[in-house]
Amino acid sequence: MLLRSAILLLALALPVHASEPLTVDWLDLLPAEDYQAMLDMPEIDHGTGLDAEGNFSNSLRQRDNSLPEVMYSTRVVAKYDGKNLRIGGYPVPLETDDNGRYTSFFLVPYAGACIHVPPPPPNQIILVEYPAGIAIDDIYQPYWVQGTLRVEQTSNELADASYQLQAARVWLYDGE
């Protein structure tokens, strides 16, 4: 009895650590059928990134419906819903706080997605909410983002996203 009480007391005194985040890759967020469709897709002309008036586009939306269906996919991998994870990617800034720190941004798998043709499909765009905010000086600098992922469709004037992430931590990508 004394040994059992001592073990219980010791267990209660140990610090409780939150589970380590699961590190995922962008391909993990593609359902199997979309992954295969991407592999089977013909080469895409990435063009110049210019719109009809010769200006750079600043949208993550597809400009037409001429691409393979997978480039418009909103299909998701439900097993990641509610999971604590981290993923590396590039920010597309959206909203700032009073100090100019970004509290909302899209995270995408490659740099310059807001001027890249074609932009990633919605299931390769994550809307990140980060109340603590972060200064984003260079959209070509990758970041790690850690927090709780939700499978939830979001749409605004810039893009459609199939995932949302409530970030607990955002930091410069360090390769690990």
Domains of the chain: 18-172 (2.40.50.870)
Report the Cα 15 to chain-centroid distance in Å: 31
pLDDT of amino acid 98: 96
Percentage, residues of the chain above pLDDT 70: 73
pLDDT of amino acid 2: 46
Average pLDDT across the chain, whole number? 83
Task: Report the pLDDT averaged over residues 124-142.
Answer: 96
In angstroms, the Cα distances linking 50 to 59, 109, 116 are 11, 21, 9
pLDDT higher at 8 or 99 = 99
Task: Report the pLDDT averaged over residues 131-157.
Answer: 96
pTM: 0.79
pLDDT of amino acid 130: 98
Question: Has residue 115 got a pLDDT over 60?
Answer: yes
Question: Has residue 9 got a pLDDT over 50?
Answer: no
pLDDT higher at 76 or 156 = 76
